[in-house]
A = this chain, B = another copy of it.
Amino acid sequence: MPKTAAAGARPKPPTKGERTRSEILKAATRLFAAKGYDATGVRQIGEAVGVNPALINLYFGSKGDLFREVASQALAGAELRQGSVDQLGEQWARFTVQGVSARQARLKASNQSLQLLIRSAASPVAAATVRRAIGEQIVDPIASRLSGDRTQERAALIATYLLGFSLMQRVIGVDALAKGDHETLIRHLAEAVQNCVDDR
């Protein structure tokens, strides 16, 4: 088999440019989550990755544009687009409550997203970006699964229940949510979500 055909059959390895871009995004996510939007500079992100800050601007535009990309990736909820409508309450509640016992790498990424969300509230610029990302990445995908009236309000409430739970469980660390009986939590959370899905 010729070497080129074999290479074509496998997913193409990322180019150097793609790797750098992804490293910049990772470092930016980590720094924005740890220090907030205002206290994080493009220069620092460049230093963390070992690239010239000018390259970051070339790839992403301004710091605001970079943060938009980070927030959008951090909040992307692919799992919101799956599952049958009469099971969404149970499915999303279980996913949210048991997130705490999820695979380590994934959990770390998810905790970073929550920190990003929390920290960004300090900066009006970043808060506006996060508000838009929550709308586009979480509320809109949920709303697209609903039928009937007031789908935006019902979807925003579901987002509130799921994000609120994650914040209280993992960022604040409320005891009964972190260490309490998971099946009790899932049952009630699922009911609350399904109630908004079905518009009962």
Contact = CB atoms under 8 A, between A and B. Distances in A.
Interface of A: 36, 115, 117-119, 121-122, 127, 130-131, 134-135, 139, 149-150, 152-157, 159-161, 163-165, 167-168, 171-177, 180-181, 184-185, 188-189, 191-192, 195-196, 200
A73 B193 CA distance: 32
Given A121-B171, A195-B188, A160 B164 contact: yes
Contacts of A191: 192, 195, 200
Q: How many copies make up the complex?
A: 2
B159 A161 contact: no
26 contacts: A117-B172, A119-B122, A127-B173, A134-B168, A134-B172, A135-B175, A139-B174, A150-B180, A150-B184, A153-B181, A153-B184, A153-B185, A156-B168, A156-B175, A157-B165, A157-B177, A160-B161, A160-B165, A160-B168, A160-B177, A161-B192, A163-B164, A163-B168, A164-B164, A191-B200, A192-B192
B188 A131 contact: no
A129 to B, nearest CB: 11
Nearest to A150: B184
A174 B121 contact: no
